[in-house]
Amino acid sequence: MSAPIVFSGIQPTGRKHLGNYIGAIRQYVSGQDRGQPAIFCIVDLHALSVAYDPAELRERVHDTTAILLAAGLDPERCILFRQSDVREHTELTWLLSAVTSHGDLDRMTQFKEKTGAARELASAALFYYPVLMAADVLAYKATEVPVGDDQRQHVELMREVARRFNGRFGETLVVPELIVPTVGARIMDLQEPERKMSTTASTEAGTVFVLDEPAAIRKKLGSAVTDSGREVRRAPEKAGVTNLIDVLAVARGVGPEAIEAEFEGAGYGDFKKAVAEGVVELLAPVRERYAELRPDEAALEATLAAGAEKARALAAPTLAEVRQRMGLGPA
Ligand code: TRP
């Protein structure tokens, strides 16, 4: 089989948390040599589907770029770029909307959840979000899309859009596969371990940020919610402890059973201290490298510009083909 073309998008929010790091960023880094190419896109166009500040958006793109580089993405081995630098994404969004039905978009649970009762006030961009996401991936004829489980429905939709396009206009686009990370896909909020750690919905005390200082990490882990029992083992009714076991397993690069065995008979206090140290060791190198990279905005822009050039070279031929198939421009 030929090497996969990997594409993933990441929101430009500066405050990436442990869940993002374990569930997405680390997979990007480990997957960058597997993908030929592996393409990582900072999705600033998606970010403007909700209320935002223009100057801050630019800052957040730089933050995210620096975090990804600090975590180990190597622009020599992957394509790292800013979505809005490659106009093909917006053009393809419109073209794909011809084979996307209003009903498809209406069924998207993320749109429903994000808008709730305020549906009428939500931007059309938020409604269109999945079409832009389809364009992101289909422009590169990507074969694999590594994303969190919450994006499953969006990936299903892009698969359907690709199939419909091919059915209507002839075999052109590639139907991509969803790749959900197996380890650490669900890192839970430390204070509310029934809920996923998330940028928007989580508690501050329950969310470890990639850039947190060791003291903050120790404090958050120290006050992580456990249960009234005393055993360090995974169980459905022990959501807090289960989460901490998973976190330490990932931090140490071992299976959760190894953690359970190591802490058999130990108290929660010692266990939580060990988890804190594991997380500090996991994140400290990223934080330190970030501090070196983030101030040099010219260098970050140069990296993004070089990435955009490589991305454009791949997306432009797809767009030419799509336009041709759809009867746009001269024959
Ligand atoms: N919607 C994705 C998220 O919130 C981000 C994203 C945008 C994306 N475009 C993409 C992910 C294309 C994968 C492929 O996580």
DSSP calls for 131-166? HHHHHHHHTTT-SEEE--GGGHHHHHHHHHHHHHHH
Dist. CA 257–CA 240, nearest whole Å: 16
Q: 87: part of which helix (H) or strand (E)?
A: none
Tell me what pLDDT residue 184 has: 60
Q: Hey, whose CA ends up nearest to atom 4 of ligand 1?
A: 11
Contact status, residue 156 vs residue 100, Cβ threshold 8 Å: no
CA 320 to chain centre: 29
Ligand 1 centroid distance, CA of 234 (Å)? 31
Q: Hey, whose CA ends up nearest to atom 12 of ligand 1?
A: 9
CA distances from 31 to 39, 160, 217, 316 (A): 10, 25, 27, 24
Tell me what pLDDT residue 113 has: 82
Contact status, residue 197 vs residue 207, Cβ threshold 8 Å: yes
Q: Which residues line ligand 1 (CB under 6 A)?
A: 7-9, 11, 43, 46, 133, 136-137, 145, 147, 151
Tell me what pLDDT residue 84 has: 98
Ligand 1 centroid distance, CA of 82 (Å)? 13
Ligand 1 centroid distance, CA of 129 (Å)? 9
Contact status, residue 179 vs residue 145, Cβ threshold 8 Å: yes
Dist. CA 42–CA 9, nearest whole Å: 6
Q: Hey, whose CA ends up nearest to atom 14 of ligand 1?
A: 8
Tell me what pLDDT residue 150 has: 85
Full-prediction pTM beyond 0.85?
Answer: yes
Q: Hey, whose CA ends up nearest to atom 11 of ligand 1?
A: 9
Ligand 1 centroid distance, CA of 111 (Å)? 14
Ligand 1 centroid distance, CA of 185 (Å)? 15
Dist. CA 315–CA 331, nearest whole Å: 20
Tell me what pLDDT residue 98 has: 97
Dist. CA 303–CA 167, nearest whole Å: 38
Q: Kindly tell me the sign of the dihedral angle through the C-alpha atoms of 70, 72, 77, 81.
A: negative
The residues pairing with 40 across neighbouring beta strands, listed in sequence order, are 8, 80
Neighbours of 174 (CB within 10 A): 17
Residues 6+ apart with CB under 8 A from 325: 169, 170, 172
Q: Hey, whose CA ends up nearest to atom 7 of ligand 1?
A: 9
The residues pairing with 39 across neighbouring beta strands, listed in sequence order, are 7, 79
Q: What is the pLDDT along the chain (331 residues), one digit of tens a residue?
A: 688 999 999 999 868 999 999 988 998 998 899 889 999 999 999 999 999 999 999 999 999 999 999 999 999 999 999 999 999 999 999 999 999 999 999 999 888 888 877 777 888 999 999 999 999 999 999 999 999 888 999 999 999 999 999 999 999 999 999 998 766 668 999 999 999 888 777 788 999 999 999 999 999 999 999 999 999 999 999 999 999 999 999 999 999 999 999 999 999 999 999 999 999 999 999 999 999 999 999 999 999 999 999 999 999 999 999 999 999 999 8
| 7 Cα nearest atom in ligand 1 | 14
CA distances from 105 to 84, 154, 168 (A): 22, 9, 19
Tell me what pLDDT residue 231 has: 95
Ligand 1 centroid distance, CA of 83 (Å)? 11
Q: 254: part of which helix (H) or strand (E)?
A: none
Neighbours of 240 (CB within 10 A): 21
Dist. CA 189–CA 23, nearest whole Å: 14
Specify the pairing of strand 177-179 against strand 144-146: parallel
Tell me which of 136, 150, 157, 158 to substitute to probe ligand 1's pocket, judged by most ligand atoms within 8 Å of the beta carbon.
Answer: 136
Tell me what pLDDT residue 171 has: 98
Ligand 1 centroid distance, CA of 177 (Å)? 14
Tell me what pLDDT residue 15 has: 87
Buried b (16+ CB within 10 A) or exposed e, 82-121: bbbbbebbebbbebbbebbeeebbeebeebeebbeeeeee
